[in-house]
Chains A and B, each alone.
Chain A
Amino acid sequence: MDLLPTEEQNQIVDASVGFLEKELPVERMLQSGEQPLIDRTMLGKIAELGWFGIGLSEDLGGVGYGLREETLLCVEMGRYLVSPAVLGSILGTRLAAVAGDEELAASIMAGEKLVAVAIPRYSQTPVVDNTVTGEYYVFEGDDADLVLIVDDNASALVEKSAISIFKALPCTDDKMQFAAASCENVSTVAALKKSDEDIYLRGVLLTAAMQLGIAEATRDRCVEYAKVREQYGKPIGAFQAIKHYCAEMAVKCEASLSQIYVAAIELEDPAKAQGDNAVFDTLCAKTLASDAAMDNANTAVQVHGGMGFTQEMDIHLFVKRAHVLDQLFGTQRKQLQQLSKLAGPAL
């Protein structure tokens, strides 16, 4: 038993952080202008790193790592406020590959096609093999080629161009593309039943990982700021009011981190993935990570004082992104409802 990443896993994390720090530093978000969260050039670079197929087995055309490595990568993606479409493409590659559409999987993995993520609004009918109907919101859809739609029993990819009405809207998360999508009998290009592959549950875990990235990034920013910002002649981190905020942020990170790692291990092992513990622990992971991301981002504004309220610092970006991630792959309310239907986990 060892919950911590292996040396090889740590190397994957280090390499991804190196890339993100160079190509997608959080400061990029503070620049004015209309540049999107992800463009075609960046898509190509990320594809070259193999991120879109990192957790896919080699016999399905992937890089050959697993869910644990995907999870570790998503924590870093959360920390650097990477577009949710990267998560969409990671899941889209898997969906297409498991559904048997090698060509589609290869094109997503190569960064030729980008996958946006839909969340339900109302009037959805269950996603079935060949059509999707209902009202959705779509994150990062304007420049995307495909949209990932999941519900409790199935997951599907649809061509964005096939969506009946696709209306771009401004989004509270500054550079996030956002749109209302009306689907009426939109044909799917690939679909999976939950019993084939639970894309929803995988999405729940990877979103939780991105939320953990936000929780850790805001914790770290607060700690650094509290060490240097002085009032009453000393660093504000010396005051218990601030110190205890930071301690609570650390506690929330540790709880989410531990739970996410356990869930990733259980969900990756096919023998255990069908068991209740994997489902239970994954739902717990996002419940905890949602709170950690939201609460830590909120606290971070308070710790940074007036400056935290401005757009001159990056703190507000984490508040806004935490809200987006809370909505992806089921809200906390939904996860708690699902949890309430499960028996207690085996100890």
Chain B
Amino acid sequence: MSSQNNESKQNDQGAHLAGLLSLNNNPAEEAATEPDQPEDPRTLNRRKFLRRLSYGVGGLGAALAIVPVAGYVVLPLFNKQPENWQEVGTTGQFKQGQTVEVKFDNASPHPWGGPVSQSAAWLRVDEVGQFWAYSINCTHLGCPVDWRPEATLFMCPCHGGVFYQDGTVAAGPPPKPLVRYPLRIRDGRVEIRTSPLPIT
């Protein structure tokens, strides 16, 4: 009973607001608010049908508009970018025991991408002449790790993650070693295979 009272009071308040918002002296508004005359069942059935028809057709129209729009935004994510081998230098350029930054076109370049079409990696030639390429992204939250040659450590400026020269975690919050890029040497050229940004 009390909930009914509440509801009726709320309706009163709604009616009050409707009164505030109504357009007085507007025939269209007045006609719209006039009570309906008793109508025959055929009219009511027709109205019921038209209501359902309107909901259905309206919903279909909305879906027709939304599906391609949503698809346009989402579907590109399912198109895997071709992974390219990119040359980053020749073997002679890199010295044994050194770690240097190399730059290359990233995995999803667009002609209009400007400077962000490029990516970087840390290229290391170890003591036995083996080449390694590490992602510059810290495995904690993706910030760029910096190579400190005197300390022979990669250090992250964001939250203090530290990695040894072989990419393994030395200290701080990173949960995994630095991601390694596939690397090959062909005819004296050092090539890195582009990869999506590692989401760790």
Query: Do the two chains belong together in a single complex?
Result: no
